[in-house]
Amino acid sequence: MTSTNSQSSRFPYDRHRGPHPGIVAVIYVLLFIAGLVSFGVLSNGAEFPRPFGALEKAQQTFLQFTYAIRINAFFQFACAIPLGIFAAAVTSRLRFLGVNVTGVSIAFFGGMGASLLFMLSGLCSWVLSQPGIADDLNVTHAIQLLGFGCGGVGTIATFGLLMAGISVPCLFGGYTPKWLAWLGIILAVLAELSTLSLIIPQAVWLLPIVRFPSCIWMIGTGFTLLKKLPEPLTAKQ
């Protein structure tokens, strides 16, 4: 009787309650795409300034397409919010399912870190869109590099921790399809290798290789992650 009451107080619901991680992931992806498309449309197809490209060309883009940069910064900041909510939702669901391993805490840390760094990257772009900031080449380049470090290497590396922390327990526990868990693990490894771009500029190509497939992982994990308690545990109640 005591055991039953204990279980009832510990698990007041038979399924996880909270934001649907699949829907949150879709919102994140849509906002991210909106940022890319809006810049392309508002800049008449101009290339987004690259941190390791010609400084004068990057400065000219910031000066010529200020509004495009500002709108892109808005969407970048905005999509960081559902990213953080997604991390909170999936880690909460795994704990609800009884997954009490360090990986879940690592995933939460990675998700919050990725969200905050993505926000900071968006704010860097917003700063560059303000009058007079891009007039100074050195200031422009410094803020651009900070934005790249936060939104590129920083976001991807911490996002890799989120994918690894979720995918490993899902692989062994069967909480998501195995192919999806393996995808997350592979992308997580590539995400951590992308930190080499801080010392080897050629490794920067690992960033888009991780970023775009990770959207598939997010949506897939969000919609397939179990929300009910495992049957053996339910039966004991």
pTM: 0.87
Task: Tell me how far apart the alpha carbons of residues 224 and 25 are, in angstroms, rounded to a whole number.
Answer: 12
Task: Tell me how far apart the alpha carbons of residues 52 and 71 are, in angstroms, rounded to a whole number.
Answer: 23
Contact 114, 214 (CB under 8 A): no
Residue 98 has what pLDDT?
86
Share of the chain above pLDDT 90, in %: 74
Q: For 99, which DSSP code?
A: -
Nearest to 52, CA basis, from 182, 157, 139, 141: 141
Instruction: Tell me the per-residue pLDDT of 86-131, one tens digit each, with 9 for 90 and over.
Output: 999 999 999 988 888 999 999 999 999 999 999 999 999 999 999 9
Task: Tell me how far apart the alpha carbons of residues 79 and 109 are, in angstroms, rounded to a whole number.
Answer: 18
Instruction: Tell me the per-residue pLDDT of 141-175, one tens digit each, with 9 for 90 and over.
Output: 999 999 999 999 999 999 999 999 999 999 999 99
Residue 228 DSSP SS3: strand
CA angle 54, 155, 33 (to 5 degrees): 75
The beta strand positions in 71-117, using DSSP E, are none
Provide the Cα torsion 161, 76, 61, 156; round to 10°.
0
Between the alpha carbon of residue 225 and those of residues 78, 156, 181, the distances in Å are: 25, 22, 10
